[in-house]
Amino acid sequence: MSMSTTPPSGFRDFLPQTQAARAKAIEAVSRVYRSFGFSEIGTTCVEELGVLLGKAGAENEKLIFKILKRGEKLELSQGTDELADLGLRFELTLSLARYYVRHQSVLPHPFKVFNMGPVWRAERAQKGRYREFWQCDVDMIGSDHWGCEIEVIQAMVSAYQELGLGCPTVLVNDRTLIAAVFDAAAVPAEKRVEAMILLDKLDKLPEDRVLADMTALVGPEAAKSIRERIVSAEGDPERLKSIAPQALAKLDRILKALAGVFGERDKFKLAPSLMRGLDYYTGPVFEFKFPGLAGSVGGGGRYDGLIGKFSGRSVPACGGSIGLERLMLLLESKQAASAGGPQVCVTVFAEELRERSLKCATVLRKAGFSVDVYPGARPLRDQFKYADARGAAFAVVLGPDEAASGKVKVKDLKSGQEWLEDEGSAARALRSRLA
């Protein structure tokens, strides 16, 4: 009986073209993060369960892929409630917090860092939501200044622009503002997390349904107070000034600074109902949205209390994450992802000319081209078909006549046009036609 070759639900294989487009996007985001002075690190995919539990919210912790104890440890665990001691990370910030506490003695202060890689969540797989996906995080640790939020958001917006997506709509809020609204409405402490989850649904569900659920949770008077301050404040932030002046002043500075940097005032907006799902956020939070795509393509916020849970010492921090899977949906819809194949395919006219073809390919690679040399021995028409299937822009032919005269024949695979070039000037000629 043959074995199934389908990946598990929520996991995917990537064909070369798709993988090349993903790699190009990751390289672009990395390049932008570095240009802002952030240093890249790497963290383990597997963490102790103690690192993952009790710090990001119960809903997120239900999604952990746990790893069974092994050998004697597993035998000793029989009959106990917990047979696992490790888990796959479900986001990168917890790993960063652990990493920072372990290595802080050799890290600069403040620490500007970015981290990219796969994460895993044991949730129901559906279109656009996978059990394995990539995050591209950027963080600043060790400073409580509002300028950190500016730089993190600026780096992330610049990454979208580098990829040809333009400036997203940036929604900004502050967790302390929400706490002040709940204080004013006398929402009991034990109901606040659920109330925040309801508010976060305002951009996904009809307003009257959310408010009905809020009324059932906290009562009509409290729900009315929340509605007046949160929902109405979307268009009139002055309604919040009396209860959260400091939070509003900070958000106003952040929004004005970003609008000034990018020259797009309408793209940066206060969103009083924005929550973000992770429990560790303590101050400003933000999300990025693009038209035509439901939900956010990235987000983040300030998490001043998280690192202290590992070290026992308060360390301010803020950061954000770009979701690669949703980013790729945008790139595909805008046809911004490249084909991912080589730019040039060098043919092999005959085996006695293979070494000459390899030397030609080496010269082109040193000039910055991605180059494939045909691996077999087939007629030129088959090699041209291969080059076209790989998505190459040009094929280069080096036959006996060309070799004798120090020239190469170049074929534009899109137009079919052919011409001769001196070997020494071929790279320059190809570069001008690709420009």
The string of pLDDT tens digits covering residues 410-427 is 898 888 888 888 888 888
Pairing of strands 344-346, 394-397: parallel
Cα separation of 54 and 290, whole Å?
33
Co-location of 363 and 326 in the same domain: no
Domain end (from 333, 352, 375): 333
Co-location of 255 and 108 in the same domain: yes
* Range of weakest confidence among 1-10, 73-82, 115-124: 73-82
Co-location of 271 and 359 in the same domain: no
Q: Decide if 69 is inside a domain.
A: no
Co-location of 123 and 207 in the same domain: yes
Domain with 405, as residue range(s), is: 344-434
Co-location of 288 and 366 in the same domain: no
Structure tokens at 113: 């860092």
Co-location of 312 and 356 in the same domain: no
Confidence of residue 340 (pLDDT cuts 50, 70, 90): low
Structure tokens at 398: 């080096």
Q: Calculate the dihedral angle through the C-alpha atoms of 398, 402, 408, 411, rounding to the nearest 10 degrees.
A: -70
Residue 322: φ, ψ to 5°? -100, 125
Domain end (from 307, 333, 359): 333
Co-location of 291 and 158 in the same domain: yes
Contacts of 36 (CB under 8 A, 6+ apart): 112, 138, 151, 154, 155, 158
Pairing of strands 298-302, 66-68: unpaired
Co-location of 316 and 392 in the same domain: no
Inform me whether the pLDDT recorded for 336 exceeds 60.
no
Burial status of residue 215 (CB atoms within 10 A of its CB: 0-12, 13-18, 19 or more): middle
- Report pLDDT for 192: 86
Q: Which helix (H) or strand (E) holds 148?
A: helix 147-162
Tell me: cis bond preceding 110? Omega within 30 of 0 counts: yes
Contacts of 8 (CB under 8 A, 6+ apart): 131
Domain count, the chain: 2
- Report pLDDT for 22: 94
- Report pLDDT for 337: 46
355, 405 contact by CB (below 8 A):
no
Co-location of 282 and 199 in the same domain: yes
Q: Decide if 313 is inside a domain.
A: yes
Pairing of strands 418-422, 407-412: antiparallel
Helices 175-185 and 192-199 cross at an angle (nearest 10°) of: 120
pTM of the model: 0.79
Structure tokens at 350: 């005959």
Co-location of 184 and 279 in the same domain: yes
20, 340 contact by CB (below 8 A):
yes
pLDDT digits (tens, 9 = 90+) for 199-255: 878 777 788 888 888 899 988 888 888 887 877 655 567 777 778 888 888 999 999
Confidence of residue 105 (pLDDT cuts 50, 70, 90): very high
